[in-house]
Structure 1
Amino acid sequence: MAADGNASQLVGIVTLLGAAVIGVPLFKRLGLGAVLGYLAAGLAIGPFGMALVTDAQTIIHVAELGVVMFLFVIGLEMKPSHLWGLRGQIFGLGSMQVGLCALLLTAVGMAFGFSWQVAFVSGAGFVLTSTAIVMQVLAERGDIHAPHGQRMVSILLFEDLLIVPLLAIVAFLAPAQASDNAVAPLLQRAGLALLSLAALVGAGLWLLNPMFRLLAKSKAREVMTAAALLVVLGAALLMELGGLSMAMGAFVAGVLLSESSFRHQLEADIEPFRGLLLGLFFLGVGMALNLQVVGQHWPLIVAGVLALMATKAACIYLVARLTRSPHRVALDRAILMAQGGEFAFVLFSEALKLQVISAEVHANMTAIVVLSMALTPLVVSMHKRWARGDALQLDGVEAPEDLRGTVLVIGFGRVGQIASQGPLARGVQLSIIDNDPDTIRAAALYGFKVYYGDGARPDILRAAGAHHAQAILVCVDDKQAASRIVQNVRRECPRVQLISRAFDREQALELVRSDADHVVRETFESAMQMGRLTLQAIGVDDDEASGVMDEVRRRDAERFALETAGGLFAGRALVLGNIEHIPPPQHDKPAQ
């Protein structure tokens, strides 16, 4: 009997994996994206398709850990200072969008003939956008760290924080006989939530880094992987016990570890689990689409999907335009965030338990949310094709494809043009990419072949030949873009020589901490030359002036080395001006 049970479980696992292996490549080949491939595969093998796998809710519950791990990885890339800088977007933009959408979606529900209580719960559930779908699409496009991507991430974070207040509102809306036990512990829930959050922050500040340093000394890679999973799942469990979102707990844990020297190791350890579980989540959502309910109430469900998605999209577009986003960005946000999300299932289940909504409304709204999630990747793909001609004028501009240059230059403005002269003089083969079509066309007039691409995207790096290059020059004039590029290059190509331009000392320190081999401060050498000329102008002879400036250079290099985390990066040579300074003797580096 036990053998039969094990075989049955193994059949289910093989079926899930087989559906993903077949469905995802097929849909990506059709240009429809991985998310829609997972959803379609789940629908095909689920209880309302071929019925090869029947327990969709269990799969969704387990696979929600994929969303949790995704938020942990995003948190690792957001330092507390950066998150603090987003506070206006999180609470300002987030509350504006959520408040207006909730009001309009409630009005849509009342227009369908429901009471205001049922309409509010249905609308509030649909307000909660799918973190999994939005983050997956942003990751595929490489837009998570772009300004418009950061705004969407901020709104998603605010929506994750809303789940507890919304559950409290549902308890107040419940009939007296159902709400007696629900309203009483509201203060207790709020206190427990704050206590859980405080415990997580305390552990992140004082326990996690010492724990990883201790484990790194054991040099057991599997233990580090286990510790990474422990941190993610432990943070998620703590937040769930406190009544908050599991994904929010993982995100906070990631932010607390974002400045840790173990950040890249943690991200590498989590990545395989994140991708697999996130795919499993989308499979489960596809399986959960109840075709019987859709068949019985299809006019209401189809009308509900169209009305709610159109209203939410219009509201998001309006808020984006009111906050001065350009039309293209506002339309992209509206299309990408117009669906309901996974937290709607939690809200609807609680409302059903407290008799705020009926079982029929629960089934219909669940189907509406699942259909909206399934439609989103398709709508995004269609919009991408239709809007391709409006995004940028790319006449005469080519994207990179399987380049093989010895040196890859990212950014071909003033710095990139000058920095490339040395390699060109030695006959070195260059690959050059830039994300400004005008720069590319101007360079072509002088005989330079520059390809169009964003160096912050891993797929563009691969197409531009980053894995084949001996050296990569990061010459972009955007501080945040340069930091993202350096981090992606180091993650994708750990052995390549990485030379990056830095705007100032602060950014130079950040780039060194991201493992750039050489960092050049763009104003340093010109300022040193001006200092030398000043000494000569007041009568100091050439040799003495050179000696004074060399001493200034030496002291600056020493201060810089001390600031780079006490010698953690001593294995890297840092270019300060046009000379190399080798930091103090190398110490044992923590396991990476």
Structure 2
Amino acid sequence: MNGSEHLLSAMLPIILLLSFGVVAAVASRSLHLSPIVGYILLGLMLRLSGFDLGPSEQTVSLLAELGVLFLLFDIGLHFSFKRLRAQAADIFGFGPAQVLFSTLTIAVAARLMGLPWSGALLVGAALSLSSTAVVVGLIAERHQQDCPVGLTATAILVFQDVAGIFILIVAMALQNGGTPLEASASALAKAALSFGISLVLSKYLVRPAFDFVARSRNEEVFTAVALLVALAAGWATGTIGLSVTLGAFLGGMMLADTPYRSIVQSEIKPFRGLLLGFFFVSVGLALDIATLSHSWHLVAAVALGLVALKIVANVLASLLFRWSVPGSIQLGFLLAQGSEFGFVILGLPAVRSAVGNEWSSIVIAAVAGTLALTPNLASAGRWIAGTLRARRMTVLDPELEPQALVGPVMILGMGEVGRAVADALIHFDIGFVAMETDQRRLRDALADGYRVEFGDLSDPRIWEPAALEGRRVSVLTEPSLEISGRLTPLTRKFFPDLLRVAVVADAASAVGFANIGLTPVIDAPGDGGLETAALVLEALEVPSEAISDWISSRRGSFADTRHSKAEASSTLEVLPA
């Protein structure tokens, strides 16, 4: 077989698998189910039908592992070191409590079912973890990233991912004849070293590299560098004996504090989505058909029992941290499934020996079942929480208030007008984020303390990373009539309540932007963006008296500045040569 024929034979299974995946995703959506369910069932059906992936099977497994890696990289992009400090209570307090409660609850149940304590504790630890891939996907799908449930669940998952690495290391140490204490100490030291190194690399290597790439205005290089950071960080931690997923998470964190977070997230999103699809298909392919056929009743019982025990443990941990009963129930149902780590940990020979081959297969199949049930469980938890809140609510429940780290305004361009709008929002304590493509203005705005990211909203791929969904106003300080006209149908469809303000130079331009649905404001010479700032403040329902007072003080400061400059100029003129 020549090279061309070999390539064609290897491509056909992948083409068929992608086709089946599209059908599974569309069918799941039409049945109001998560695509995750469709992917797992697709893998199971392929296994039952005897579909042969041939040489492509190893490729699919590799792509599935890369899917989890890119998911952790994306999570890291949302967890800057600043945010890690802000959510330290959830990550290092709530997270350990949830894992401990779930481990002990599940371990006691496993012991009562006849497993020895060593095997019961391993099973309890492996099943105490929840699925990052599933839960984070659901949170994003339901736009809960900025609500307390979404923020806390994500923080707990971050701790669980690190805990899963330690559990895996301990299990491998037992397999190699080591002691759990030695393995845990070694892993802790290596993880601490990795965090420290990532801090240094973020400041002295990664940030300067992206500054250089941004100046080149080369999108392909941006994608390549983002992939390089994710893969290199994963390779580095894997080389020293830690999980590659921990490295990918640290790689994302290295970029989270830079102005390039949004554009990097938009570049890797297609890779993450596609590769995660392969991961869930591989879960279905890995299920033991013999176990499912002969012990399906045990698989169902273990799956339901696992969900029930984790809900109880999660609710208890939530109540311990003074969550309300409705919030505790919602969080408990959301994190009630097993984890991707469960497949890895329970598949180790040492763990299978401690648990038993038959029980390992049953538990693995049950974990897959809980992944498929998760969308429905999360909906049930949300419905129960909503019902309880409706019955008892007398005042606004703080757990329902958004806790967004960005505000309702998006400013595009940080020239004179953009800065004026930003200053007005800062004065009234209104959150915003700005985007800039010019490197000089980006650098100057960051140096002056403004929150600015590198990116161009004319590319729809960046809308989600830039959190345009939650904005109320976007200000285009240097708009293009052609680009705005092309994007208007999309923005109306996805963001019908978004007020788009276009800053123009004359009345003719204002008419053109008004005709395509934008709100124009004429930036008169010497105005300094004050009209635009006033319009934005009015849209955000700031009292008109307060707006007038701010504009008066702003104009007064401008007048003082001009007067000082004039005096300096006249003084220079009379100085002797």
Tell me the distance in 2 between the aligned counterparts of 1:530 and 1:465. Answer: 37
Tell me the distance in 2 between the aligned counterparts of 1:241 and 1:391. Answer: 49
Residues 56 and 285 of structure 1 are in contact (CA less than 8 Å); yes or no, is this contact kept in structure 2? no
Match of 2:241 in 1: 243
Gaps of 5+ in 1: 394-409, 412-454, 474-494, 500-511, 533-545, 558-592
Residue 82 (structure 1) shift: 2.1
Pairs within 5 Å for 1:107-256: 107-170=108-171, 179-180=177-178, 188-256=186-254
Structure 2 counterpart of 1:259, one-letter code: D
Match of 1:373 in 2: 371
Tell me the distance in 1 between the aligned counterparts of 2:545 and 2:470. Answer: 36
Change (3 A) 1:457 1:149: farther
Q: Is 1:305 paired with 2:322?
A: no
Pairs within 5 Å for 1:238-387: 238-350=236-348, 352=350, 355-381=353-379
Change (3 A) 1:324 1:62: same
Residue 294 (structure 1) shift: 1.7
Tell me the distance in 2 between the aligned counterparts of 1:203 and 1:498. Answer: 44
Residue 50 (structure 1) shift: 4.8
Larger mean Cα displacement after TM superposition, 382-391 or 73-82: 382-391
1:557-580 Cα deviation digits (max 9, x unpaired): 9xxxxxxxxxxxxxxxxxxxxxxx
Residues 470 and 496 of structure 1 are in contact (CA less than 8 Å); yes or no, is this contact kept in structure 2? no
Residues 335 and 379 of structure 1 are in contact (CA less than 8 Å); yes or no, is this contact kept in structure 2? yes
Identity of aligned residues (%): 28
Larger mean Cα displacement after TM superposition, 97-106 or 332-341: 332-341
Residues 76 and 249 of structure 2 are in contact (CA less than 8 Å); yes or no, is this contact kept in structure 1? yes
Structure 1 counterpart of 2:234, one-letter code: A
Residues 330 and 382 of structure 2 are in contact (CA less than 8 Å); yes or no, is this contact kept in structure 1? no
2:130 is paired with a residue of what secondary structure? coil
1:132-171 Cα deviation digits (max 9, x unpaired): 0001111100112211111101111111111343245436
Match of 1:418 in 2: none
Change (3 A) 1:549 1:5: closer
Residues 338 and 371 of structure 2 are in contact (CA less than 8 Å); yes or no, is this contact kept in structure 1? yes
Residue 4 (structure 1) shift: 4.8
Residues 289 and 371 of structure 1 are in contact (CA less than 8 Å); yes or no, is this contact kept in structure 2? no
Tell me the distance in 2 between the aligned counterparts of 1:470 and 1:523. Answer: 17
Structure 2 counterpart of 1:327, one-letter code: V
Change (3 A) 1:463 1:218: closer
Match of 1:7 in 2: 8
Q: Give the alignment partner of residue 555 of structure 2, picking from 550, 557, 567.
A: 550
Match of 1:38 in 2: 39
Residues 313 and 337 of structure 1 are in contact (CA less than 8 Å); yes or no, is this contact kept in structure 2? yes
Larger mean Cα displacement after TM superposition, 98-107 or 31-40: 31-40
Match of 1:48 in 2: 48
Match of 1:17 in 2: 18
Match of 1:72 in 2: 73
Gaps of 5+ in 2: 392-407, 410-465, 473-489, 502-516, 522-531, 563-577
Residues 60 and 281 of structure 1 are in contact (CA less than 8 Å); yes or no, is this contact kept in structure 2? yes
Residues 75 and 251 of structure 1 are in contact (CA less than 8 Å); yes or no, is this contact kept in structure 2? yes
Please identify which structure carries the higher helix content: 2
Residue 237 (structure 1) shift: 1.8
Residues 64 and 278 of structure 2 are in contact (CA less than 8 Å); yes or no, is this contact kept in structure 1? yes
Larger mean Cα displacement after TM superposition, 522-531 or 329-338: 522-531
1:361 is paired with a residue of what secondary structure? helix
Change (3 A) 1:194 1:380: closer
Change (3 A) 1:91 1:190: closer
Residue 184 (structure 1) shift: 6.7
Tell me the distance in 2 between the aligned counterparts of 1:97 and 1:351. Answer: 27
Tell me the distance in 2 between the aligned counterparts of 1:349 and 1:519. Answer: 58
Match of 1:472 in 2: 500
Residue 69 (structure 1) shift: 2.1
Tell me the distance in 2 between the aligned counterparts of 1:361 and 1:204. Answer: 45
Change (3 A) 1:363 1:282: same
Larger mean Cα displacement after TM superposition, 333-342 or 165-174: 165-174
1:472 is paired with a residue of what secondary structure? strand
1:162 is paired with a residue of what secondary structure? helix
1:324-369 Cα deviation digits (max 9, x unpaired): 3233332222222111111122322345379434333332322222
Tell me the distance in 1 between the aligned counterparts of 2:550 and 2:29. Answer: 58
Tell me the distance in 2 between the aligned counterparts of 1:13 and 1:96. Answer: 43
Match of 1:82 in 2: 83
Change (3 A) 1:385 1:191: closer
Tell me the distance in 2 between the aligned counterparts of 1:198 and 1:76. Answer: 17
Tell me the distance in 1 between the aligned counterparts of 2:355 and 2:549. Answer: 74
Residues 131 and 338 of structure 2 are in contact (CA less than 8 Å); yes or no, is this contact kept in structure 1? yes
Q: TM-score, normalised by structure 2?
A: 0.67
Tell me the distance in 1 between the aligned counterparts of 2:37 and 2:169. Answer: 34
Residue 109 (structure 1) shift: 0.3
Match of 2:478 in 1: none
Residues 129 and 340 of structure 1 are in contact (CA less than 8 Å); yes or no, is this contact kept in structure 2? yes
2:177 is paired with a residue of what secondary structure? helix
Match of 1:96 in 2: 97
Tell me the distance in 1 between the aligned counterparts of 2:120 and 2:149. Answer: 31
Change (3 A) 1:295 1:56: farther
Change (3 A) 1:328 1:555: farther
Residue 52 (structure 1) shift: 4.6
Residues 196 and 242 of structure 1 are in contact (CA less than 8 Å); yes or no, is this contact kept in structure 2? no
Tell me the distance in 1 between the aligned counterparts of 2:561 and 2:298. Answer: 70
Tell me the distance in 1 between the aligned counterparts of 2:263 and 2:520. Answer: 19
Match of 1:589 in 2: none
Residues 76 and 263 of structure 1 are in contact (CA less than 8 Å); yes or no, is this contact kept in structure 2? yes
Residues 201 and 254 of structure 2 are in contact (CA less than 8 Å); yes or no, is this contact kept in structure 1? no
Pairs within 5 Å for 1:516-555: 550-552=555-557
Tell me the distance in 2 between the aligned counterparts of 1:233 and 1:97. Answer: 30
Q: How many residues align?
A: 443
Tell me the distance in 1 between the aligned counterparts of 2:561 and 2:225. Answer: 39
Residues 315 and 329 of structure 2 are in contact (CA less than 8 Å); yes or no, is this contact kept in structure 1? yes
Residue 465 (structure 1) shift: 4.1
